[in-house]
Structure 1
Amino acid sequence: MNKDLGKILIIDDDEDVLLAAKFLLKKHAHEVIIEKNPKKIPFLLNNDTYDVILLDMNFSKDITSGKEGFYWLHQIMEKDPSAVVILITAFGDVEMAVKALKEGATDFVLKPWQNEKLLATISSALKLKRSYNEVDELKQAKKTLQEASNEPFKDIIGESQAMKDVFAIIDKVGLTDANILILGENGTGKELIARAIHQRSMRRDNVFIGVDMGAITETLFESELFGHKKGAFTDAKEDRAGRFEVANKGTLFLDEIGNLSLPLQSKLLTALQKREVTRIGSNKSIPIDIRLVCATNMPLYEMVEENTFRQDLVYRINTVEITLPPLRDRREDIPILTNHFIKMYCKKYRKPLKKIPAMALKKLQAYHWPGNIRELQHAIERAIIMSDEQQLKTEDFFFLNQKNGEKEIGLDNFNLDEVERAVIQKAINKHTGNISKAAKELGLTRASLYRRLEKHGL
């Protein structure tokens, strides 16, 4: 028997019954509370919660009818509709049991009880209580998701014209079932856009299934996407539905579709044209009803010209195309993205909310961000972890200078601004972002160096 039957409340005016029940249950329950006076039920429920309540049907004023027990059952259910109540009586019959169950009781036991029977009844009631809690949590999660889906582009941050153009396309295509192709560099947020399209579709209440096509091997492609029957190959120990089946009635997001080989492209195209799949090891076709969204960072149209990507597959997946701008083309969004990530990581790492001065923001806006939003996010996270100050500083992002990959200015370059910028950059890199040491090496005061950093956007 499980040693943790939760917290149990027993209400009975017979002290012998209370002591006997407590003696039995304390070995199996987390806590057992006993009470002789049913009038204390409101107080007990107001001040604590119980996994299971054992309630006597008949108290001294009402020996056999069970009316008092029903009264207190109603009081408990009014206080907590999800309460799990087991009624106890020495005069129980089928009619009273049915009435008790109809009015909210979970189960019914007779005195004198059999110990194993009572323990089994409480264990079952506790499982029911936990299932109630899971249902409540799922309902709350669904409500939260629905509320979130009603907020326009809640997870996509951007006020630049480039992003407004993307939002406008999503609004137009959202309610249709058109296949969407999302193009963009790594780190530009292609999956977020795919999820936003799903949330605006008529399929929003059904599943969103994402598949990283770049991570699926040639041998596992059909099994992962189309499923397999038990025994179809060596490791097929049970029937398994593929991603197409799982996504039925919902949205299927195929990320990095440009990584597929020509043979796999052909298999995918066949499934999309027929709108059906066949599990490996089966001859039965399974109809599919999905909204398809694909994404890639690869130049599909050049690949078509080079005969490395099928033109007919491009047409099939590309009813509407959305191209996401790289971060360097929407630099005006960097401040709001930065502040968003600062709040996120200060909360995650339990640090006071940090500010970022204009000079540091200017440095972030000047950087070319080859990794786009993902790289910015990682840069902010690292800075939050490493910084001990109340605000982030330019030197907290010294590692970005090392990634710039800019060629050093040679002695044959006579542009003073470029030479000054290169020398300052080299000093900052040498001293890993330590402004005091870099200023000393350059023969400048900290204030002078800060002015030059601002001037050159470093």
Structure 2
Amino acid sequence: MAKPSKTRLLVVDDDPGHRNMLLTLLADWGYRLEGAEDGEAAVALCRERPFDLILMDVRMAGMSGIEALKEIKAYNPAIPILIMTAYSNVETAVEAIKAGAYDYLTKPLDFDDLRLTLDRALDHASLRDENKALRDTLSATFDQGGIIGQSPSMRQLMELLAAVAPSEATVLVTGESGTGKELIARAIHTNSQRRKGPYVAVNCAALTETLLESELFGHEKGAFTGAEKRREGRFLVADKGTIFLDEIGEMPLAMQVKLLRAIQEREIQRVGGDQTIKVDVRILAATNRDLKEEVEAGRFRQDLYYRLNVVSLALPPLRERVEDIPLLTMHFLNKFAIKNGKQVKGFTPGAMDKLLKYSWPGNVRELENAVERAVVLLVGEYVTERELPPVIIQAQDGGQCPEPGFSNMTLEGVERIAILDALDAAEGNKSEAARRLGITRKTLHAKLQRYGVADAND
């Protein structure tokens, strides 16, 4: 959270006594403050100077808090606004949240609740600004190419990608199956000096040794049975561009020797030929194996490992970036809703809870398949537990699924799981869930909207 001494708040209330009380209280908490006596004054002040947060009454003479909220949000949509009211009016609360209010407080204010809500709002704004700054920095120079994630590990990976991509360094991408290693390779090529050249991917695990050599280096006519004409290999096709060697850990040792020479000398020789051909390629490789262990076991050449491992990028498994699951699920949900011609709004709390708690051995690829299955089977507007693959439900019913690693999650990610847990324990009863969480029902409703989660009956 931003330090209170540097945080500027605007208090808007047409009741001078209440406004002055808040100004005195918040000054004691260390905030820099200004007051406004009505909505018009608040809008005018927001156009003149920046504020980190606005605390505003909803019922005021002249321009109401809702009207002022809409005008301020139209001018500055990023600023968090807390609405106060002496009237427990659910419709007003919903209207305020829909208009962009961060949260809704009822008079007389509970000062502990006020302080906690201020802290959360400012933390949320600070994290949003950090993420925006990172996205802006990357977007100015870096095309993410479909890579999705705002978890700390993914943000760190994207920063490293942005630094590595423009270079000519050979890159080894490691990670479990389904984590998206080829997406990383494509992003490196797209943001490199070679982006106008070809990008050629080869799955080293899909071919026998003889076919792999021909695939990589080409062959002369008559080099082997069935070689009826000369064929150019993938290295030559990738000239002036990038070649991506996927599942490099599956390559036979005999082929590793030939690949090492191609990397060292940047020249190849067709199968059955005696002429060496110079090639200008950048080499990217990926594996789901631990190549250090493969070297120690004698299954992978040490000299080739060091040639490939100039820069290493490790993709975290999905279970270690749980806070990215809602982003990924909504991305896949929109993708498959369009593909299947369906109107889908989101996930019920129970369904999202199951997705967050599953261990995802198949990583992002398994999540994508699960969401596609759910969309295909879906009849209503919200994905429920019924549409999820049985393995996800059975793993948790059997108690085999570990809890998420909270130490690697953002506060917002932990809060999301806590809310879904409370809803699950309350069997979907929002009032009971709010009581368990120690928040109001309207605050719970606002948070569910913020996280893209809703009850199927909403």
The one of 177, 187, 202 equivalent to 2:193 is 202
CA distance in structure 1 between the partners assigned to 2:204 and 2:179 by the alignment: 18
Please name the residue that 1:334 is paired with. Answer: 325
Please name the residue that 2:95 is paired with. Answer: none
Counterparts in 2 of 1:235 and 1:406: CA distance versus 1, 3 Å = farther
The one of 179, 184, 188 equivalent to 2:170 is 179
Matched, 1:247 2:247: no
The one of 346, 351, 358 equivalent to 2:337 is 346
The one of 129, 145, 149 equivalent to 1:158 is 149
Please name the residue that 1:273 is paired with. Answer: 264
Counterparts in 2 of 1:257 and 1:406: CA distance versus 1, 3 Å = farther
Alpha-carbon deviations, 1:42-72, whole Å to 9, x = none?
xxxxxxxxxxxxxxxxxxxxxxxxxxxxxxx
TM-score, L = length of structure 2: 0.56
- The answer for unaligned runs of 5 or more in structure 2 is 1-138, 404-423, 437-458
Question: Contact 1:367 / 1:400 at 8 angstroms: preserved in 2?
Answer: no
Alpha-carbon deviations, 1:13-61, whole Å to 9, x = none?
xxxxxxxxxxxxxxxxxxxxxxxxxxxxxxxxxxxxxxxxxxxxxxxxx
Alpha-carbon deviations, 1:361-418, whole Å to 9, x = none?
1211110000000000000000000010111112221513356288569xxxxxxxx9
Matched, 1:302 2:293: yes
2:155 aligned partner, one-letter code: K
Counterparts in 2 of 1:235 and 1:150: CA distance versus 1, 3 Å = farther
Counterparts in 2 of 1:206 and 1:359: CA distance versus 1, 3 Å = same
- SS of the equivalent of 1:181 reads strand
Please name the residue that 1:230 is paired with. Answer: 221
Deviation at 1:281, TM superposition (A): 2.0
Q: How many residues align?
A: 272
- SS of the equivalent of 1:303 reads helix
Question: Contact 1:157 / 1:336 at 8 angstroms: preserved in 2?
Answer: yes
CA distance in structure 2 between the partners assigned to 1:398 and 1:191 by the alignment: 26
Deviation at 1:163, TM superposition (A): 0.5
Please name the residue that 2:308 is paired with. Answer: 317
CA distance in structure 2 between the partners assigned to 1:187 and 1:408 by the alignment: 24
Matches within 5 A, 1:36-435: 152-401=143-392, 404=395
CA distance in structure 2 between the partners assigned to 1:398 and 1:237 by the alignment: 48
Could you say which structure has the larger radius of gyration? 1
CA distance in structure 1 between the partners assigned to 2:244 and 2:378 by the alignment: 38
Identity of aligned residues (%): 45
Counterparts in 2 of 1:380 and 1:318: CA distance versus 1, 3 Å = same
CA distance in structure 2 between the partners assigned to 1:342 and 1:252 by the alignment: 32
- SS of the equivalent of 1:384 reads helix
Please name the residue that 1:431 is paired with. Answer: none
Please name the residue that 2:101 is paired with. Answer: none
Alpha-carbon deviations, 1:158-201, whole Å to 9, x = none?
01110011111111111110000000000000000000000111
Question: Contact 1:255 / 1:294 at 8 angstroms: preserved in 2?
Answer: yes
Alpha-carbon deviations, 1:126-171, whole Å to 9, x = none?
xxxxxxxxxxxxxxxxxxxxxx996631410101110011111111
- SS of the equivalent of 2:259 reads helix
CA distance in structure 2 between the partners assigned to 1:406 and 1:257 by the alignment: 38
TM-score, L = length of structure 1: 0.56
Counterparts in 2 of 1:375 and 1:230: CA distance versus 1, 3 Å = same
1:393 aligned partner, one-letter code: T
CA distance in structure 1 between the partners assigned to 2:385 and 2:222 by the alignment: 60
Counterparts in 2 of 1:170 and 1:448: CA distance versus 1, 3 Å = closer
- SS of the equivalent of 1:252 reads strand
Counterparts in 2 of 1:324 and 1:183: CA distance versus 1, 3 Å = same
1:285 aligned partner, one-letter code: T
- SS of the equivalent of 1:270 reads helix
Question: Contact 1:346 / 1:354 at 8 angstroms: preserved in 2?
Answer: no
Deviation at 1:226, TM superposition (A): 0.5
Please name the residue that 1:24 is paired with. Answer: none
CA distance in structure 2 between the partners assigned to 1:399 and 1:254 by the alignment: 35
2:149 aligned partner, one-letter code: G
CA distance in structure 2 between the partners assigned to 1:243 and 1:367 by the alignment: 39
CA distance in structure 2 between the partners assigned to 1:149 and 1:186 by the alignment: 31
User: After the TM superposition, which of the residue ranges 278-287 and 242-251 deviates more from structure 2?
Assistant: 278-287
Please name the residue that 1:414 is paired with. Answer: none
Counterparts in 2 of 1:265 and 1:151: CA distance versus 1, 3 Å = closer
Question: Contact 1:181 / 1:295 at 8 angstroms: preserved in 2?
Answer: yes
1:325 aligned partner, one-letter code: P
1:276 aligned partner, one-letter code: E
2:167 aligned partner, one-letter code: T
2:272 aligned partner, one-letter code: G
CA distance in structure 2 between the partners assigned to 1:152 and 1:263 by the alignment: 37
Question: Contact 2:219 / 2:233 at 8 angstroms: preserved in 1?
Answer: yes
